[in-house]
Amino acid sequence: MTLIKNRCVLITGGASGIGKLIAKKCLQKRAYKVILWDINEKKLLKTKKEFANRGYDVDVDVVDVADLEDVKRASKRVKELFRNVDILFNNAGIVVGKPFARHSHRDISKTININVSALMHIALEFLPGMIDQRDGHLINIASAAGLIANPNMSVYAASKWAVIGWSESVRLEMEAEETGVHVTTVMPGYINTGMFDGVKAPFLTPTLSPEFIVEKIMKAVKNNEIILQEPFMVKSVPFMKGVLPQKAFDFLAKKVFGVHGTMDEFKGRPEHEAVPDKDNLSIH
């Protein structure tokens, strides 16, 4: 069982969305310190003020997780101030919603750097400390997109497939070495945070409310769950892919559940402060 009380918690992409809600839950559970990283300084300071008005003191830092040197700088600061992080929520992420052939090289690099490389680099900064103290928890926010191919989100899907493979591999290493460090991989469907504005949820797979998925995440952390998949139909994807011929699965995904059309009207939530020259991009 992982307890939040008296623990030092770091949340990336913590200024808004589910990152902000996770921070709220950790504060309510009396974490020793909650640290929020985000690239959006305006939202970060606003969130810090909101929590201060409720009597909570959070540590914030403007961090571009796609920039390894910035990650190293921010990690060093955390270690100097708080020694180490006990619980790490790797939450920050972006999606580019358009056909692959219309991507720029920058779209690809930025998506992979934020959605994949950043998680690994940040974990590498704090995992050795967790291992040394033989206690810690790494929570990686992946996506149901890491389980099923989908038009108009190819690079995003690829990034989440990578996260799942990496996260599960690290978990097996932690278990084999009996480090006392837990790893939870979260694979939600579409969440109503604004990141996926304009999408049409697949049949029998409703868009999740941020409050619902955060409650599930906090419960999964408490119980040291290995994998969290929501809503229910997400759990069935690996089974269906395993038993059906590929063409049959493609037909089911496209014609029955409507998965392949979910991104047709994607708008997302533009973040001009982060990527002023790009459209069709949304960030946590």
Catalytic residue numbers read 156
Q: What is the largest CA-CA distance in the chain?
A: 56
Q: Are 220 and 174 in contact (CB under 8 A)?
A: no
Six-digit token pair at 90?
Answer: 């790797």
Q: In one letter, which amino acid is 269?
A: R
**Nearest-angstrom CA–CA distance, 193 and 99:** 23
CA end-to-end distance (rounded Å), the chain: 28
**Helix or strand holding residue 89 (H, E):** strand 87-90
Cα-flanking dihedrals φ and ψ of residue 83, to 5°?
Answer: 75, -60
Running DSSP on this structure, what letter comes out for residue 191?
Answer: B
Alpha-helical segments (H) within 148-231: 154-176, 210-222
